[in-house]
Structure 1
Amino acid sequence: MMSTVLLRLAINRLPMLRPHEKALLEEIVDSETFFHALTVGLLSQIVGRSIRDVPFDARSVLDLARRDAEFLRARTIAAIPVGDTRYPALLREIFDPPYLIYVRGTLPDGAIPSVAVVGTREPTAAAVAAARELGAGIARSGMPVISGLARGIDIAAHRGALSAGTTGAVLACGIDQVCPSSHRSVAAMILARGGFLISEYAPGVAPQKYHFPARNRIISGMARGVVVVQAPSRSGALITADYALDHGRDLFVHAAGIDGVSGAGTRDLATDGAMIVGSADDICAEWGIAPSVTSQTGRPGTIAEVVNADDVARSIAARTRAELESELRRTV
C-alpha cells in the first residue's frame, strides 16, 4: 500500500496535470505498482484529455517524491492538500485551488481578513512609499499582508508590513527558493516575524514565466481584498486584479498610483469601479474594522519591547537566511 503523503508528493511532481486532475489521479492510484505503470497515454485516458508528449518516468518521479518527503520533514515544511483543515478556507473556494501547497512558517488565522497588496515591478518613488505605508497600516490593524515578494510594489508592501506586524509571500518557484534571490533577507525576516512562505511548486522547481500568473491566483485567493498600488497598462498586477474579480474579492486601487503612464492600468481599474483608497484606514472603514495602532497583542508595544523583538527577529532571520542560501546553492 502506497502512503497517501508519498502519493500526493509524487502527483504534485506532474506539472502536465491541472489541480483538479491531480485530485482525480489521487482517487484512482492505489499502489506503487499502479503509479509505476503510469504513462502519458494512460494519464490522458484518466483525465479525459490529450496530454502533450513530455518526458515522463514514473519511477523517477516517485524517487523525487521520496526525497521531497525527507527534505520537507528535515526543514519543518508542511505539504498541505486541498482537503486538509489547515488549507486556507478562502483559497479552497476558488475555481482552481492548488492541489497541494508547501508552507514554511505560520498561515494566517482564517478568522482575520488578509489583504493582498500588488503592483508593478517598476514603480515611481511615490508609489513605493505608498505601498510601504499601506503595508504598515494594514499590519497595524492586525491584518496580514499578502504579496509575491517581487521587486517594486510587492517588496515595499512586505517591508512595510514587517515594520508593524506579519506578512506572507506567495512564491512562483519551489518552496526552498526565493525569487529574486536578492530578497532572501526579507523572506527570512517574514518567517522570523511569524509570517509565512507558500508555494504550489515542489522543492527545486525553478521559476517559469507561466508560474507567475498562476501564483497571482493564490495571492488573490487567500485575501479578502486586493489593492493594486500602481500598474501600467500591461502589468502582471492586472492579472491579479482580474482574479480578484473572478474570486469575488474586494478590489481597491491606491490614490498614489493612478497618475501618469505608470498608473494607466490602475486608472482603468478605478474607472471600472475599483474603490480608490489612500490608506489602510479606508479599507478598515469599508470592512467595518476599527483601525488600530496597537500591536497584535492588543496593546501598544514599548520602545524597549520593539527593539528587543527586532534583535530576536534579526537573530532568527540570520539563521533562516543561511538555510535558504544553502538550499539555493543545492538547487543551482
Structure 2
Amino acid sequence: MIYEYWFARMKNISDNKKKKLREAYGSAKEIYYIEETQFRLQNFLTKKDIEQLKMARKQKDLEEKYYNMEEKGIGFVPYFQKTYPKRLSKLDGAPYALYVKGKLPEEDRPSVAIIGARRCSSYGEGQALEYGKCLASAGVQIISGLALGIDGAGQRGALNGGGTTYGVLGCGVDVCYPRENIGLYMDIQKEGGIISEQMPGEPPMPYHFPLRNRIISGLADVVLVIEAKEKSGSLITSDMALEQGRDVYALPGPVTSTLSQGCHRLIRQGAGILISPEEFLKELQIEVSEKSTELLKNEKMLETTEKVVYSCLGLFPRNVSEIQAKTGLDARILMETLMTLEMEGYIKETAKNYYVRMSDVR
C-alpha cells in the first residue's frame, strides 16, 4: 500500500491519468519500477507527465510518512478498494484516493448534503439545525463541508439528533478548518468521519474547495441548499450535484433577503421546495420514527423558567433588558437561563445581549 500512497501523492498528474496508468500496469508498484520507455507508449502522457513520474521516484521517507499517517488514525482509501464509497466511484472525475479520520458513509443508508451560506441568518441557521437533527434521527446520513454557518449548523443538528454526519474538507483531514469548529470537528469523528482527497497536513487553499464540493454532492443522494446568495459557492455545488444526477432542494426565505436569492433562483429553475423536514422525509419515502417525530414536533419539555424566557423570544432579536421586563426574572437567573437555552440550541445570541429563537418548543 505504500506504493499506492506514493502514487496518490503525485499532484501534477490528473486522477484520470493515474487511473489509466494503474489499469494499464496493474499496480502502483509496477508503475514505480517501470522503464521510462514504457511510459512513452502511453499516448495520454505528456513529456511533462513523464518527467513528473521520474521525479516522484526520488521522494524520500515515504514509509515513515505512511506509518506516521496510520499512527494518527488516518485511513487511506484508493479508488479500487472495496471500501471506497460506491456513490463516488460511479462518477467521472472521482478522487484517486480519500483520506479519512473516523469512518466513511454507509452504502445502504440514504445520504443528504446540507449546504449554504457561511454568513447565514438566524433563520437559516435554525432551519439547518432542524433539518440536520430531524433527518439524522430518521437514519439519514448528513454530508457537509464543516464550514461556518449553514454547513456546521446542519452537522451539529445531526449530532444533536443522535445520527451520523461526515465532514468533507478542503485541506488535510488532520487540519481543522475553520479553527472555530474544532469542537464539531472532534465530535464528528466519534459518530461519523472527516474526509478529504488532500494529503494529511495540506493547508486549506482556495482552489481546493471546488474540488471538495464535488465530493460533498457525490457522497449524497440529495442536496439541500438552506441559504445562498445569488452568486454563491453553494450554487456551484448544486450545479455539480445536478451534473452527477442528484436531486436538489432549496429552502425559500424572505423575498427581501439577499441570503435567499440563490435559493429562489434554484426553485425557479426547478429545484424541489423544502417545506418541513417531515414533508421532505415523506418525499424520500423514509418512515419517520417515533424519536424523529418527537424531534420534529419539538416536544422536549423545558423547565418552567426556560419556558417563560423562551416564550418571550421570536425570530427577531430582543434585548436582555426587554426580556427581563417581560419575565420579571432576577438578572442573574435570566442570564443563566439564556445561557442554558443557547447551549441546548434553542436560542442564539445574534449581538451582545440580543437573542432570537431558533425553533419552536412546546
The TM-score bracket by the shorter chain reads 0.7 to 0.9
Aligned pairs for 1:15-26 within 5 A: 15-26=11-22
Instruction: Give the structure 1 partner of residue 164 of structure 2.
Output: 166
Structure 1 residues 176 and 258: alpha-carbon distance in aligned structure 2, compared to 1, 3 A threshold = farther
Instruction: Give the structure 1 partner of residue 185 of structure 2.
Output: 187
Which has the larger displacement, 221-230 or 255-264?
255-264
Indicate if the aligned counterparts of 2:228 and 2:234 stay in contact, CA closer than 8 A.
Answer: yes
Aligned pair 1:13/2:15, yes or no?
no
Letter in 2 for 1:159: R
Aligned pair 1:248/2:245, yes or no?
yes
Who wins on radius of gyration, i.e. which is larger?
2
Q: CA deviation at 1:226?
A: 0.2
Q: Secondary structure at the match of 1:227?
A: strand
Instruction: Give the structure 1 partner of residue 360 of structure 2.
Output: none
Aligned pairs for 1:301-320 within 5 A: none
Q: CA deviation at 1:210?
A: 1.0
Instruction: Give the structure 1 partner of residue 207 of structure 2.
Output: 210
Structure 1 residues 47 and 129: alpha-carbon distance in aligned structure 2, compared to 1, 3 A threshold = same
1:169-191: CA deviation from partner (whole Å, max 9, x where unpaired): 00110121111122121110111
State percent identity of aligned pairs. Answer: 34
Indicate if the aligned counterparts of 1:135 and 1:157 stay in contact, CA closer than 8 A.
Answer: yes
Structure 1 residues 269 and 50: alpha-carbon distance in aligned structure 2, compared to 1, 3 A threshold = farther
- Tell me, in whole angstroms, the C-alpha distance in 2 between the residues paired with 1:139 and 1:68: 36
Instruction: Give the structure 1 partner of residue 325 of structure 2.
Output: none
Letter in 2 for 1:288: Q
Aligned pairs for 1:86-105 within 5 A: 86-105=83-102
Out of 153, 156, 177, the position equivalent to 2:153 is 156
Q: Secondary structure at the match of 2:273?
A: strand
- Tell me, in whole angstroms, the C-alpha distance in 2 between the residues paired with 1:44 and 1:12: 22
1:243-285: CA deviation from partner (whole Å, max 9, x where unpaired): 1101111110013477521111111100000011133222211
Q: CA deviation at 1:224?
A: 0.5
Q: Which runs of 5+ in 1 are unaligned?
A: 296-302, 304-332
Q: Secondary structure at the match of 2:140?
A: coil
- Tell me, in whole angstroms, the C-alpha distance in 2 between the residues paired with 1:215 and 1:113: 20
Structure 1 residues 33 and 166: alpha-carbon distance in aligned structure 2, compared to 1, 3 A threshold = closer
Q: CA deviation at 1:294?
A: 2.5
- Tell me, in whole angstroms, the C-alpha distance in 1 between the residues paired with 2:269 and 2:278: 22
Aligned pairs for 1:215-294 within 5 A: 215-256=212-253, 260-294=257-291
Aligned pair 1:79/2:76, yes or no?
yes
Q: Secondary structure at the match of 1:241?
A: helix
Out of 123, 128, 133, the position equivalent to 2:125 is 128
Letter in 2 for 1:161: A
Indicate if the aligned counterparts of 2:252 and 2:260 stay in contact, CA closer than 8 A.
Answer: no
Structure 1 residues 274 and 71: alpha-carbon distance in aligned structure 2, compared to 1, 3 A threshold = same
Instruction: Give the structure 1 partner of residue 194 of structure 2.
Output: 197
- Tell me, in whole angstroms, the C-alpha distance in 1 between the residues paired with 2:254 and 2:117: 10
Letter in 1 for 2:85: P
The TM-score, its normalising length taken from structure 2, stands at 0.73
The TM-score, its normalising length taken from structure 1, stands at 0.79
Letter in 1 for 2:183: S
Indicate if the aligned counterparts of 1:11 and 1:26 stay in contact, CA closer than 8 A.
Answer: no
Letter in 2 for 1:250: D
- Tell me, in whole angstroms, the C-alpha distance in 2 between the residues paired with 1:135 and 1:49: 46
Letter in 2 for 1:10: W
Q: Secondary structure at the match of 2:291?
A: coil
Higher relative contact order (CA 8 A, sep 6+): 1
Q: Secondary structure at the match of 2:153?
A: helix
Instruction: Give the structure 1 partner of residue 341 of structure 2.
Output: none
Letter in 2 for 1:58: A
- Tell me, in whole angstroms, the C-alpha distance in 1 between the residues paired with 2:110 and 2:40: 39
Instruction: Please report the RMSD computed on the Cα atoms of aligned residues, expressed in angstroms.
Output: 2.6
